[in-house]
Amino acid sequence: MTMEAERTLRADETTELGELAAQLRVDAIRCSTRAGSGHPTSSLSAADLLAVLVSRHLRYDWANPRDRANDHLIFSKGHASPLLYAVFKAVGVIDDEELVETYRRFGSRLQGHPTPALPWVDVATGALGQGLPVGVGIALAGRYLDRLPFHVWVLCGDSETAEGSVWEALDKAGHYGLGNLTAIVDVNRFGQRGPTELEWDLDTYRRRVEAFGCQALVVDGHDLAAVDEALGRARRATGPTVLLARTVKGKGVPEVENEPGWHGKPFKPDLAERAVEALGGVRRIRVAGPRPEPAPPPVTPAGAPPARPRYEVGARVATRNAYGDALRALGARPDVVALDGEVSDSTRADRFAEAYPDRFFEMFIAEQQLVAAAVGFQVRGYRPFASTFAAFFSRAYDFIRMAAISGADIALSGSHAGVEVGADGPSQMGLEDLAAMRAVHGSTVLYPSDAVSCAALVERMVDLAGVTYLRTTRGAYPVLYGDGEEFPVGGSKLLRGGDDDRVALIGAGVTVHNCLAAAERLADEGVRARVIDLYSVKPLDRQRLLDAVRVTGGRLVVVEDHYPEGGLGSAVLEALADLAEPVRVTHLAVRGLPTSGTASELMDQAGIGVAAIVAASRAALSGT
Amino acid sequence: MTMEAERTLRADETTELGELAAQLRVDAIRCSTRAGSGHPTSSLSAADLLAVLVSRHLRYDWANPRDRANDHLIFSKGHASPLLYAVFKAVGVIDDEELVETYRRFGSRLQGHPTPALPWVDVATGALGQGLPVGVGIALAGRYLDRLPFHVWVLCGDSETAEGSVWEALDKAGHYGLGNLTAIVDVNRFGQRGPTELEWDLDTYRRRVEAFGCQALVVDGHDLAAVDEALGRARRATGPTVLLARTVKGKGVPEVENEPGWHGKPFKPDLAERAVEALGGVRRIRVAGPRPEPAPPPVTPAGAPPARPRYEVGARVATRNAYGDALRALGARPDVVALDGEVSDSTRADRFAEAYPDRFFEMFIAEQQLVAAAVGFQVRGYRPFASTFAAFFSRAYDFIRMAAISGADIALSGSHAGVEVGADGPSQMGLEDLAAMRAVHGSTVLYPSDAVSCAALVERMVDLAGVTYLRTTRGAYPVLYGDGEEFPVGGSKLLRGGDDDRVALIGAGVTVHNCLAAAERLADEGVRARVIDLYSVKPLDRQRLLDAVRVTGGRLVVVEDHYPEGGLGSAVLEALADLAEPVRVTHLAVRGLPTSGTASELMDQAGIGVAAIVAASRAALSGT
């Protein structure tokens, strides 16, 4: 089953690589034992693979991690961080003291799992099955946009191939012919709590990989020459390669080799000492791998400044349409890339795709890969916009969470929010997306009510840091704002209001329209109500709320097309949590499980329609 | 490529099946045209498959949908609901008027995508790639626990095979040898916005399916005899089968057959009229398919009443350990099943696995399948507990969202919550889980602070309706409560308090211990602080909060090991939103991106440690 290697290594080269591999093992053991936690055995199995890769195949200028010509190295099995950091020592970018004395310590950049706190790390890993999908994004950028000969190398664990996201990634790698991508799977046959599902059944791995459109190379992961030959073939391949390396967990330390029960367990000092001695002791080998060919400077054609789409006040335009229009306008910037999960005719990303087909990437119905690819594109300096239904970003929530830890700058647009979706029913309705997206570290959450504000916010999104989420609405509603109006992130709009308002109606997105209609009705009854469009859900315009509290005596009615927990209502309450004066917030949200129906039937049923807002306002005024 | 069918059907049978298929097509067209929305072409492609399945293979007593012997039919491609509902008419459980006049209407049970509002629907579908993973759970129950000969038939779309969850499901189907499971893939080569990735490349589908351990049968999906023969083979197979049916989208309506641009578009009335006429008009065929063999009544051995594990007050016990102990104790109930995502030695589900190996199911690192299998087990009446790290349930958020729409009763236990995780770093820390889980419709969210309350709550979870989430802590903390103390869902505990308290410290889980220590320090300074353990995050004990507001003059300090949005702080604020008296909530939460470190270093850094609580309390009292 194992490939016969062409013996390309000279004896002295093999010796050198063996010495380096021993150093990597020794250092992985030392740092994890010193830390008292970590995954030495998962590092030992892959040490030979990394010794060969770093010495002979990874083209990387370690002094210039931002060099566009550099290869990319991603540890999808992020728990093997002792090995990665041992590599960093071997190439000379960290010293032995930092490695051994700070690994996993408070304040150290050598965290338990790698993050971009280290300049040689593209993305945070540690949630398994994510490194390869991100690698696909980087390779897409390299092949289709950068057109540079860098290669993307991803070290995967065998356990993580149980994640469906790995197969989404291999499928896309094959579909897009990513010859610049190699996954190296460290098949050490053990997961955390015991044997993996396939153990050393390399043949099944091979058949799966090939069926998904990738070249499979099966090697003994401890045969340095075989690994060298396979990595060379992988680099020369015209399509993606998966190197299936049969390895031994704990390799090099006979007491733990191929033994269960050693996952995630550092060696006790006495075992570590014996192991280090048996491996030949501490070394100070410094390896200089191949360097990249110099890359030409990035081509940044002077695109026309984006022309924001224009809409007439009062015209009925769906905000998802405005998203498509604005994204297409942004396409004048050559760094803007769009991706979609096979629903671009619904999210309106197809308007970008028509204008800029070369910068549109179809991810089909694979939302995990959709978000991961966006993360990959931003690693290469692009500004990706990824779109699908609001509800279906829930499929990629772990990827979004990890994108935040990576400090990734990605823009997400979720269409078909709330019960406003109508006849399609609850499976298609984003009703927990505001809660989920607000809770992402450092995120920005935007929910415009009309086409003008939506287009303006999309224009802002392109330069925002971190994960940005835009929520758009399926149906068409009147344009509320005039051209040229500005919509800063963290701002809001007072659509209606005066100094004698007795209640404030606060909405975002579709409920802004309901609030406006309710304010009209209340005015007919002689009750003055202000209407606030909280289009920026995170960050929130606290000052606008404070003004409303002051004017109305603290009578706020917050209306959202979302479940009651964690959404707009919570955002308002969080912003006013420590206010001294009394605030009474009436919170209208979707409390039951929706069904099919028209948008207005469902909003009325949920108690977020006009009548409910009027009634809540009356009740707030009567103090009941 | 297409299998040669053994012609097992007589001519009259073929004619009958053809008539039934025509009726299904006609009815799918009529109801969607009448509704003005829906997916007729996606229904037309699968009509022949369903005609044969329902007439000759699906063993189902339509009058008794709860019969344990019934086969299961899941429309993973839930958008083909017109076809499913046309089947329901053909078997006589709904009438023509309900079908045509109520489909997708407000108040109808015939929603845009199927939900268990219909007694013949096991689970809600409409988020693609979920029906098959749930089917795996049902088949696991059938093969390993029920030991009944029912079969699980899942109709899948071809587009949805792009979802990694489909491959997680096939992998598990193969691994567990689920001969009682058949996926029927309707390969009509079109997705929503255009051709699928593989179009009619049946051979690639076949190789993928086989590599994942399933039998692949390739048939012409409009050849009734071939379909009949394949379904028969599928039922007789000893392993799982994937029937790859080459079909034509829009089949039977020449104007739309195999044409792009028709996804999710109902026919205009004139086209519908022509199509119905060409198909032979409206029929009233009533089909009676095969019935199941009577099943023996369920064996419910009188298990010993679960003995709650006991802990000594003051002993240091991690709540994850208490979860494992309590789950093991619950195992005395024969309907309790446990599943884990290959981390049972961390979540402590291994304590159940050791005692009840026959009712423990290893899902390996495939969290989507983990949750889906739990949903499948509860379809069969079991009480599943699924566990992984709190952070990794984010991988299955779409499945959890859909479980709520299914009205599924599942218990989830997320370990390793918050920065308390320590050295492993942020990728392993559940820090947005409370927000995400609270926002799930009808969910219950529990976060115990000690082993006694944790064990008591696990005991309650087994009988709770809906999605229940338990958050457990990695580290060991002192037991606070005595044996026999009760912990109702929706309750809380006043751990320390009197009528002259000046501030209330409110925590859950690990922060309860910090609050207690802070209250001690404040007491030393002469400041009386009450401490509330809000172990039930949803539903919340509002009365306890009202009491605290009354006694302290509205000075609350809420402390949580979670990001600031949507978690415990929001839950408290939501509960007090409409209170007339002033409340000032100081909200301590994790506002930065954590790193590695010890639990106490990281809690101190995040400002949720003892010193921060003391400082916040002082500030609240001084009114700054």
Give residue-wise pLDDT tens across range A543-578: 999 999 999 999 999 999 999 999 999 999 999 999
* DSSP labels, B519-534: HHHHHHTT--EEEEE-
Cα–Cα distance for residue pair A140/A137, rounded to 1 Å:
5
- Please answer yes or no on whether B584 and A579 come within 8 Å at the CB atom: yes
Q: What is the pLDDT of residue A301?
A: 64
Q: Convert A355-405 into a string of H (helix), E (strand) and C (coil).
A: HCHHHEEECCCCHHHHHHHHHHHHHCCCEEEEEEEHHHHHHHHHHHHHHHH
User: Taking a C-beta distance cutoff of 8 angstroms, is the pair A523, A497 a contact?
Assistant: no
pTM value is 0.98
Helix (H, G, I), strand (E, B) or coil at A165: helix
Residues A356-400 have pLDDT tens digits of: 999 999 999 999 999 999 999 999 999 999 999 999 999 999 999
Q: Closest by alpha carbon to A507, among A559, A563, A448, A470?
A: A559
* DSSP labels, B307-369: ------TT-EEEHHHHHHHHHHHHTTSTTEEEEESS-HHHHSTHHHHHH-GGGEEE--S-HHH
Catalytic positions of B are 367
Chain A residues closer than 8 Å to B113 by CB: 424-425, 427-428
Count interface pairs A-B at CB distance under 8 A: 344
User: Taking a C-beta distance cutoff of 8 angstroms, is the pair B2, B77 a contact?
Assistant: no
Residue of B nearest to A564 (CA): B439
- Please answer yes or no on whether B623 and A580 come within 8 Å at the CB atom: yes
Residue A539 has pLDDT above 80, yes or no: yes
- Please answer yes or no on whether B397 and A395 come within 8 Å at the CB atom: yes
- Please answer yes or no on whether A124 and B426 come within 8 Å at the CB atom: yes
A476, β-bridge pairs = A318
- Please answer yes or no on whether A436 and B397 come within 8 Å at the CB atom: yes
Residue A171 has pLDDT above 50, yes or no: yes
What are the structure tokens assigned to A517, written together? 């209609």
Nearest-CA distance B484 → chain A (Å): 32
How many other CB atoms are there within 10 angstroms of residue A284's CB atom?
9
Cα–Cα distance for residue pair B168/B508, rounded to 1 Å:
35
- Please answer yes or no on whether B565 and A343 come within 8 Å at the CB atom: no
- Which of A108, A394, A405 shows the shortest C-beta gap to B427? A405
The conformational region for residue A156 under phi > 0 = left, psi -120 to 50 = alpha, else beta, is: beta
The letter for the amino acid at A54 is V
Residue A3 has pLDDT above 50, yes or no: no
- Please answer yes or no on whether B585 and A577 come within 8 Å at the CB atom: yes
- Please answer yes or no on whether B343 and A175 come within 8 Å at the CB atom: no
Helices (H) and strands (E) in chain B, counts: 22, 19
Residue of A nearest to B79 (CA): A424
**Upper half-sphere CA count for residue B392 (Cβ side, 13 Å):** 31
Catalytic positions of A are 367
Q: Using alpha carbons only, what angle is made at residue B443 by residues B442 and B449, rounded to the nearest 5 degrees?
A: 150
User: Taking a C-beta distance cutoff of 8 angstroms, is the pair B449, B532 a contact?
Assistant: no
Select from A167, A348, A433 the residue whose CB has the most chain B CBs within 10 Å, as the one to mutate to test that interface: A167
User: Taking a C-beta distance cutoff of 8 angstroms, is the pair A616, A588 a contact?
Assistant: yes
Q: What is the pLDDT of residue A624?
A: 57
Q: Using alpha carbons only, what angle is made at residue A182 by residues A184 and A1, rounded to the nearest 5 degrees?
A: 55
What are the structure tokens assigned to B347, written together? 């979540």
Q: Closest by alpha carbon to A348, among A312, A377, A310, A388?
A: A388
Cα–Cα distance for residue pair B462/B519, rounded to 1 Å:
34
Q: What is the pLDDT of residue B1?
A: 40
- Which of A127, A573, A580 shows the shortest C-beta gap to B577? A573
Chain A residues closer than 8 Å to B35 by CB: 423
- Please answer yes or no on whether A126 and B438 come within 8 Å at the CB atom: no
- For chain B, how many residues are written? 624
How many other CB atoms are there within 10 angstroms of residue B152's CB atom?
29
Chain B residues closer than 8 Å to A566 by CB: 435-436, 438-439, 565-566, 570
Select from A33, A123, A136, A163 the residue whose CB has the most chain B CBs within 10 Å, as the one to mutate to test that interface: A163
Residue of B nearest to A421 (CA): B112
Q: What is the pLDDT of residue B624?
A: 57
- Please answer yes or no on whether B404 and A350 come within 8 Å at the CB atom: no
Sort strands B503-507 and B529-533 into parallel, antiparallel or unpaired.
parallel
Q: Closest by alpha carbon to B75, among B139, B127, B141?
A: B127
Helix (H, G, I), strand (E, B) or coil at B50: helix
Q: What is the pLDDT of residue B7?
A: 59
Select from A394, A440, A572, A624 the residue whose CB has the most chain B CBs within 10 Å, as the one to mutate to test that interface: A394
Residue of A nearest to B574 (CA): A570
Residue of B nearest to A426 (CA): B405
Residue A307 has pLDDT above 90, yes or no: no
- Please answer yes or no on whether A211 and B204 come within 8 Å at the CB atom: yes
Q: Show the DSSP H helices in B500-598 as ranges.
A: 510-524, 542-552, 568-575
Helix (H, G, I), strand (E, B) or coil at A309: coil
Cα–Cα distance for residue pair B30/B38, rounded to 1 Å:
11
CA torsion sign for A254, A258, A261, A265 is positive
| Confidence category of residue A297, pLDDT binned at 50, 70, 90 | confident
- Please answer yes or no on whether A426 and B405 come within 8 Å at the CB atom: yes
- For chain A, how many residues are written? 624
Residue A185 has pLDDT above 60, yes or no: yes
Residue of A nearest to B597 (CA): A106
Nearest-CA distance B591 → chain A (Å): 8
- Which of A37, A342, A438 shows the shortest C-beta gap to B423? A37
User: Taking a C-beta distance cutoff of 8 angstroms, is the pair B537, B531 a contact?
Assistant: no
Domains (range + CATH), chain B: 11-278 (3.40.50.970), 316-478 (3.40.50.970), 493-622 (3.40.50.920)
Helix (H, G, I), strand (E, B) or coil at B445: strand
- Which of B166, B368, B427 shows the shortest C-beta gap to A127? B427
* DSSP labels, A434-466: HHHHHTSTT-EEE--SSHHHHHHHHHHHTT--S
Nearest-CA distance A115 → chain B (Å): 9
Helix (H, G, I), strand (E, B) or coil at A468: strand
The conformational region for residue A418 under phi > 0 = left, psi -120 to 50 = alpha, else beta, is: left
Residue of B nearest to A555 (CA): B578
User: Taking a C-beta distance cutoff of 8 angstroms, is the pair A208, B167 a contact?
Assistant: no
Residue of A nearest to B364 (CA): A162
Cα–Cα distance for residue pair B285/B623, rounded to 1 Å:
77
- Which of A365, A401, A597 shows the shortest C-beta gap to B191? A365
- Please answer yes or no on whether B212 and A210 come within 8 Å at the CB atom: no
Span between the terminal Cα atoms of chain A, in Å: 77
Residues A111-123 have pLDDT tens digits of: 999 999 999 999 9
The more confident residue out of A582 and A156 is A156
Residue segments in chain B with a per-residue pLDDT below the cut of 50: 1-5
Residue A264 has pLDDT above 80, yes or no: yes
The letter for the amino acid at B452 is V
- Please answer yes or no on whether B573 and A570 come within 8 Å at the CB atom: yes
- Which of B164, B197, B440 shows the shortest C-beta gap to A167? B164
Q: Convert B8-44 into a string of H (helix), E (strand) and C (coil).
A: CCCHHHHHHHHHHHHHHHHHHHHHHHHHCCCCHHHHH
A31, β-bridge pairs = none
> Percentage of residues in chain A with pLDDT exceeding 90?
95
Select from A596, A603, A622 the residue whose CB has the most chain B CBs within 10 Å, as the one to mutate to test that interface: A596
Q: What is the pLDDT of residue B307?
A: 86
- Which of A78, A165, A427 shows the shortest C-beta gap to B126? A427
Q: What is the dihedral of CA A184, A188, A193, A198, to 10 degrees?
A: 80
